[in-house]
Amino acid sequence: MRQTIIAANWKMHKTLEEGLELAVAIKAHLQSAPTTDKIAILCTPYIHLFHMVETFREVDHIHVGAQNCHQELQGAYTGEISPQQLSAMGVPYVILGHSERRQYFGEDEALLKAKVDQALAQELQPIFCCGEPLEVRETDGHKALVKKQVEEALFHLSAEQIGEIVIAYEPVWAIGTGKVASPEQAQEMHAHIRQLVADHYGTATADKLSILYGGSVKPNNAADIFQQPDVDGGLIGGASLKAEDFTAIYQAG
C-alpha cells in the first residue's frame, strides 16, 4: 500500500514565534490522529527547521521538510542552504522544483536534476514538484510538459532511488488563485505521471510511488481529491497556515 502524505508548505510565512505557535497547535491536533500508512510533513522556512525537528522528534507520523536546497554541499553561495546542512540538522525531506522556484528563480530541469542527486546523496527525500501553467493547459500541452519535467529531472535515477522520491503534481494555475483542478483532472494527471514511471521502471515501482496533489486544497475539497485512486495526499499551501484547516485536510487523507 502506498503511503498517504499530507505535506504543508508554509512558503515565506510566519515569524519564528508564530511558526512555533502553529507547530505546537498542529502537534496537539495530530498527535493522536490515526497514522496507518499516513504521515504529515511540515515544510517550513529555514529559520524554523531546528525547532521543528525538536518539536516533532518523538512524534513518528509528523516529519519536517525544507522548501529548497542548493545543488552543492558547501561553498561561496551567500544566502543558500546545502543538503548536507539540512541532513546534519535532522531534516528528512526537501521540496525541489516548486513552481515558484521555477517561475521566480529560473530553476530548470538540469538544475533540479543536480539538486535531486545531492539531496539523495545526503539521505534527504525530495518532494519533486511538476505541473503546467494555464497557457499550457489551455493548449492541451500539460501532459507533454509534465512528461518533460519528470523525465529530465528524475529518469536518470535507479529504480531504488526513484523509490525515495515523492512527486507532487501542481497545476500552476491553481496555486494561490482559489481555482482548483477537478478531482477528475487531478486523477488524470496523477495517472499520467504514474504511467510514465511504470513505462520506465515497471509497474511494481510505479505502484509504490506516492504522488501528491498541490493546488488550493482546502478542507471542503480535500476528501473529493484524495479519494481518487492515484492521488496519495496533498502539498498544502495557504490552508497549512491554520492548524484547524491543516488538521481537517490531514483527516480527509
Per-chain mean pLDDT for the chain: 95
pLDDT tens readout for residues 191-226: 999 999 999 999 999 999 999 999 889 999 999 999
Segment 245-252 mean pLDDT = 95
Q: Compute how many other C-beta atoms are within 10 angstroms of the C-beta atom of residue 40.
A: 29
Give yes or no for a contact between 197 and 178, defined as CB atoms under 8 angstroms apart. no
Cβ-proximal residues to 151 (8 Å cutoff; 6+ apart), any chain: 196, 200
Instruction: Tell me which amino acid residue 116 is.
Output: V
Place of cell 535507479: 158
- Give percent of the chain above pLDDT 70: 98
Size of the chain in residues: 253
Domain 4-252 has CATH 3.20.20.70: yes
Q: Which residue has cell 509497474? A: 203
pLDDT tens digits for 7-17? 999 999 999 99
The DSSP element (H or E) to which 176 belongs, if any, is: none
Q: Is 98 a catalytic residue?
A: yes
The 10s digit of each residue's pLDDT in 146-166 is 999 999 999 999 999 999 999
* Res 79: pLDDT: 96
In angstroms, the Cα distances linking 68 to 6, 135, 188, 193 are 18, 26, 27, 22
C-alpha cell recorded at residue 123: 539521505
Q: What H or E segment, with its residue span, contains residue 225? A: helix 222-226
Q: Are 10 and 44 in contact (CB under 8 A)?
A: yes
Lowest mean pLDDT among 29-33, 60-64, 166-170, 234-238: 29-33
From the list 100, 109, 132, 170, the catalytic residue is 170
> What is the pLDDT confidence band of residue 32, given thresholds at 50, 70 and 90?
confident
- Per-residue pLDDT band at 77 (split at 50, 70, 90): very high
> What is the C-alpha R_g of the chain?
17
Average the pLDDT over 63-77 and give the result: 97
54 annotated active-site: no
Return the pLDDT at 166.
98
How many Cα atoms occupy the beta-carbon half-sphere of 100 within 13 Å?
13
How confident is the model over 47-72, as a mean pLDDT? 96
- Give the Cα separation of 15 and 34 in Å (integer): 30
* Segment 76-80 mean pLDDT: 97
Residue 178, φ and ψ in degrees, nearest 5: 85, -15
Q: What is the pLDDT of residue 67?
A: 98
Place of cell 522528534: 57
Beta strand extents in the chain (DSSP E only):
4-9, 38-43, 62-66, 93-96, 125-130, 166-169, 211-213, 233-236
Please tell me which residue in 98, 107, 132, 142 is annotated as part of the active site. 98
User: 34 pLDDT exceeds 70?
Assistant: no
How are the residues of the chain apportioned to helix, strand and coil, as percentages rounded to the nearest 5? Answer: 50, 15, 35
